[in-house]
Amino acid sequence: MDLVLFDLDNTLIAGDSDFEWAQFLIAKGVLERGVYETRNIEFYEQYKAGTLDINAFLDFQLRPLARHPRSVLDAWLGEFMTRHIVPIVGAKARALVRQHLDSGALCAIVTATNSFVTAPLLRELGVAHLIATIPAHENGQFTGFARGTPSFREGKVKRVDDWLEAMGMWWGSFERSWFYSDSQNDLPLLSRVSNPVAVDPDPTLRARAEAAGWPILSLLS
């Protein structure tokens, strides 16, 4: 059996769900535009530059979840997915996922974006497993904090290790492993698999992929 891991943002979808979720809440008037839009753009630029402080970002991204009942958040999320995320899941991305699922591979989406925002996409893509940053909750109410290791940079490797261990497996359980990603932030996990693939990569990842002879794929064109 093969192991196939997919990054989500700017890989399987033509955009960044973390960034777009905050913009969605700003547009609805849930978050104050004057305060949140500038910070949202700053964090996104830091992410693209490979300089993001994940803990500062999670404080920004998760605290608003604690201010609203889960039923309200679920309704907003449904609207967000329908209007902003499902339309940017391209045909090539769907075909790639389906190809690996049909081959019998164990597939998972591995994303830094929190699981509340990203879980609906598993159903959309038919993938059974999600490794994402976990927003903590108590009695159904989000606390505004993350639980455990954020699924970011080296944290993605740890979270995949823990996930495999929980199922009684490890990297050696698989004949081959893939990870598809667009971002330099994913170099730790790309370096861990036997078949790293750069997807519409940022300049740093493109340079690394070209130097290492990794395949470079576009799911946009």
Q: 78-124 pLDDT, tens per residue?
A: 999 999 999 999 999 999 999 999 999 999 999 999 999 999 999 99
Q: At what angle do helices 54-62 and 33-49 cross, to 10 degrees?
A: 150
Catalytic site positions: 7, 9
Residue ranges of the chain with per-residue pLDDT less than 70: 221
Give the per-residue pLDDT at 172: 95
Give the per-residue pLDDT at 35: 87
CA 100 to mean position of chain CA atoms: 18
Give the per-residue pLDDT at 140: 84
CATH of the domain at 91: 3.40.50.1000
As to burial, measured by CB atoms within 10 angstroms (0-12 exposed, 13-18 middle, 19+ buried), residue 172 is exposed
How many domains, in total, are found in the chain? 1
CA distance 210 to 216: 8
CA distance 61 to 78: 18
Domain that holds residue 8: 3-217
Give the per-residue pLDDT at 139: 87
Tokens, residue 75 = 């309704």
Closest CA relative to residue 97, chosen from 202, 160, 204, 11: 11
Give the per-residue pLDDT at 221: 63
